[in-house]
Amino acid sequence: MRSTRSKFDIQFDVIDKGSGSFFGALEDINLSSGSTLEWAAPRRILKVPVDLPLKGGMVVQSPQGMKYMVAWYSPSETSQGDPFRAFKLYQATVVASLKRRSQGTIDPRTNLPKEGGMGDPIDIYASYEPLQEAFDRELRIPNEKGRLITNEPIFRGDIINGETVIEVHEFQGLWGAVLG
């Protein structure tokens, strides 16, 4: 590890979905290229040695206290042919409150499904981006309030910071949601 330590010189601590410390190198991503539909929160690339057991879904913390959610990106190599693994980092800008509905039951009297109650809230690392108000054209009411990325599995109907998850996408070890 000493020979790679000079290339990977920033120490990170794994603070969620794993444990330990490791060394890596940070690189900025050019946000001017790509689709405008892609997530626009600040992102970076983390380069690490190929044998490091880092994986998508973990949360790491830099020496300055910045918290990042790790998304799988790709194996790669330097111009000299030295292999490394690269991960996308999404800055965890908030600790959000997630509430999930408990499993429903069957009402013994009516034999119809009965909705479960809301479970206790749990704290999750997340990156939240409010959307410009999107309106239902016929009813003229807002229906989408923001987008969120987290390392915690989320599902349609979950409540995050008082907003309902209306759409979910799993990608590279993380979950993206539209809140409404």
Correct CATH for 2-91 of 1.10.3210, 3.40.50, 3.40.190, 2.40.10: 2.40.10
Task: Tell me the DSSP string of 13-49.
Answer: EEEESS--EEEEEEEE--TTSS-TTS--S-EEEEEE-
- Give residue-wise pLDDT tens across range 14-50: 999 999 999 999 988 776 554 434 554 557 899 999 9
User: pLDDT tier at 170 (50, 70, 90 boundaries)?
Assistant: very high
- Give residue-wise pLDDT tens across range 92-121: 999 999 999 776 677 788 877 777 778 899
pTM of the model: 0.79
Q: How do the domains of the chain map onto residue ranges? A: 2-91, 94-179
Q: What is the pLDDT of residue 2?
A: 40
Per the CB < 8 A criterion, the answer to whether 175 and 127 are in contact is no
